[in-house]
Amino acid sequence: MTKFSDLKLDPKVLKAVESAGYTEPTPIQEGAIPPALEGRDVLGIAQTGTGKTASFTLPMITLLKRGRARARMPRSLVLAPTRELAAQVAENFDTYAQHTKLTKALLIGGVSFKEQDVLIDRGVDVLIATPGRLLDHFERGKLLLTGVQIMVVDEADRMLDMGFIPDIERIFSLTPFTRQTLFFSATMAPEIERITNTFLSNPAKVEVARAATASENIKQGVVMFKASRRDREGSEKRKLLRSLIESEAEACRNAIIFCNRKVDVDIVAKSMKKYGLDAAPIHGDLEQSQRMKTLDGFRDGTLRFLVASDVAARGLDIPDVSHVFNYDVPSHAEDYVHRIGRTGRAGKKGTAMMICVPKDEKNLEDIERLIKTEIPRLANPQGAIPAEAEAPVDAAEEKPKRTRTRSRKKPVEDAPSPASAPLEAAPAPVEEDRPEPRPSRSRGGRNRGRRSEDRKEDAVVGMGDDLPSFIAKSFEERMATAD
């Protein structure tokens, strides 16, 4: 059995490791530390929760024990995708470098530039940063990367998901070609492989587990759920989440609830607090101080439930999480592995439960294809029929059909249809009920032959009583000749 004392680490580093309570390295640590101490590039592939942070922190401290930092020129650089992960790396560095005189600076968003500039101006041995804030300092002329001897890229696949790859490539170009590069990722997407082939020189590849696999210590399950109505899906889904938590009440010491959208994080956290569950949200739109306060409360046990977006899925070292609830099926299959990896860490048992609605079934299939296993289906704790057991409902049947009628008048509901009405003898027509025929118009202008009740019955019908004399003259001559 390999021990840390067999890895040729600096005695001061070993002392700090023993003080932290560790004696035996994890497989990724055992495989990555020796080539890193030799100065080789390292490509580490391991699932989350396997101790990757110590895999580069311990050899870095050992290699940097000699030398002196210069102002604005850090000797080593660690890139992390999120503020929380960067802060965690800084905490690990403080733990393992407590017996040395090495200095560090943490460059993350949500913190004043002025405070960070003061640390950089003094000179630091280790610079831990997120890509965006690092480039902000560089473009302001406050930082030079020409003195970087060791460069670490942590959670590279998460960098890819967050769109940081162009920034990573630019940062690589700002560092010396002779640097040592330690590259860690949980999966090897084609883009990640391209970067490693470009910027790593003959790396020692350390792969301790198949890429994107779930730990065997995690008990998984999924509830197939379909809401009674589309507009009630949110409330019924939150009720199901509370039922799942109640069903695990005895074993659930604490839990992380993952949502895909930030707005759902806030809604779910508010709903849980309303029903007496001690919960708080954490996502990228919150202030950094609030995020750190929430994480500290979850770590020390004063907060039981953490409702999070994927900002908390990668790299956060919360060693004793008993449950993970996926309120939403993650859109990317790899995120499922990282989410459930928050539980079952350091050899402990963990439970991961997920809610799947019909629209997320394709994402569920992608997850099962990635982890090469079928996630067990769980019964609905509310006693409802699972969605997969129900007869499929046509989308057209969910809403009543709307028929378009030509008439805008509201139809009489009680009127019988012509086909169903009984046949009756038609009443004899009444003359008085017949409408008077509309007089026709002549092309020559107004109709001068309208009836008038004032007219006599023997009145001449046609041109009226006011016939001009010159028109009637020809008729009078003919009549006289005929007589």
At residue 393, what is the residue type? V
Residues 130 and 248 in one domain: no
- What pLDDT does 445 receive? 45
Distances in whole angstroms, Cα of residue 458 to Cα of each of 277, 455, 461, 464, 469: 100, 8, 8, 12, 20
Residues 193 and 271 in one domain: no
Q: Which two tokens stand for residue 443?
A: 């092309």
- What pLDDT does 317 receive? 67
* CATH code, 280: 3.40.50.300
Domain boundary among 379, 394, 409: 394
Residues 199 and 226 in one domain: no
- What pLDDT does 414 receive? 43
Going by C-alpha positions, the residue among 224, 242, 221, 225 that lies closest to residue 233 is 225
Residues 371 and 252 in one domain: yes
Q: Which residues are within 8 A (CB) of 381 and not within 5 positions of it... i.e. 6 or more apart?
A: 223, 240, 243, 244, 246, 247
Q: How far apart are CA 241 and CA 32, in angstroms?
A: 40
- What pLDDT does 269 receive? 96
- What pLDDT does 188 receive? 79
Residues 190 and 251 in one domain: no
Residues 164 and 49 in one domain: yes
Tell me, yes or no, whether 324 lies in a domain.
Answer: yes
What is the side-by-side order of every strand in the sheet holding 42-45? Answer: 104-107, 126-129, 76-79, 150-153, 180-185, 42-45, 204-207
Looking up tokens 């099962």 gives 368
Residues 233 and 364 in one domain: yes
What is the value of pTM for the model shown? 0.64
Domain boundary among 207, 236, 260: 207
Q: Which domain holds residue 372?
A: 218-394
Q: How far apart are CA 33 and CA 396, in angstroms?
A: 61
Q: How far apart are CA 138 and CA 126, in angstroms?
A: 16
Q: How far apart are CA 406 and CA 35, in angstroms?
A: 82
Residues 20 and 165 in one domain: yes
Domain boundary among 360, 394, 428: 394
Residues 112 and 190 in one domain: yes
Going by C-alpha positions, the residue among 175, 181, 75, 185 that lies closest to residue 135 is 175
The residues of the chain scoring below 50 in pLDDT are: 385-401, 403, 405, 407-436, 439-460
- What pLDDT does 481 receive? 59
- What pLDDT does 474 receive? 62
Residues 118 and 235 in one domain: no
